[in-house]
Structure 1
């Protein structure tokens, strides 16, 4: 609903913006990751799941970073504020978030934990509204 504004033909013809396509692929990758790894990690602890997620994510993304970007040049040119922001995102937005997510999976199970994932668009719209961007009707319909 959000990406196509209710027009399924838009999705079938792949007439979506590059950013929306990346979000769609990211959501698909997350779903495949959660479903595909469920039987492999059902006896693993939250810390083990987080460690494996970080390891395999790094192994996949690192070569892509070198193929499509110039990470060493960008690293050298970045300001201290950029380095601090990256460290914050790595620790809080990735490591801590994954650790809490897998802890939730361990404690209450995948079905009940998945419900909380559905709150992501709701909080995204709330933050966007607080920063001056009101959601459109399709975003509200998608969140509902």
Structure 2
């Protein structure tokens, strides 16, 4: 899956007030559901929450990659958030999270789901990318950093 085709400007938010892991997952659900025909905010939230119950998607270094599969989704959707204040995400390094990249895919796209998660993790492991994301001052700038070929997150 090409990450730039998954992320849209309306699912990219800079400087979101998160307050808690649950609130962040609710925000993701609210943004993603309209792009997933036949799927409600509750469906998205439950999918993300169920995945978190299996183990945190906080990968360390202030980054989380919550993800879920949805039986009613027809296409994958991504959500990118930066948070004004880091939130506890039960990350593997016990550090709070301030960058969240969520991925929601149709239930039958297991292989593509895993490959996309690996691609996201690789990008997020790049210090120049995460520094640029943290310094972004608008939704548009955040989207541009992740989708423009000559930017640090590509």
Return the TM-score normalized by structure 1: 0.29
Max Rg structure: 1
Question: Bigger relative contact order, structure 1 or 2, given CA contacts below 8 A and separation 6+?
Answer: 1
| Structure 1 or 2: more strand by fraction | 2
Return the TM-score normalized by structure 2: 0.28
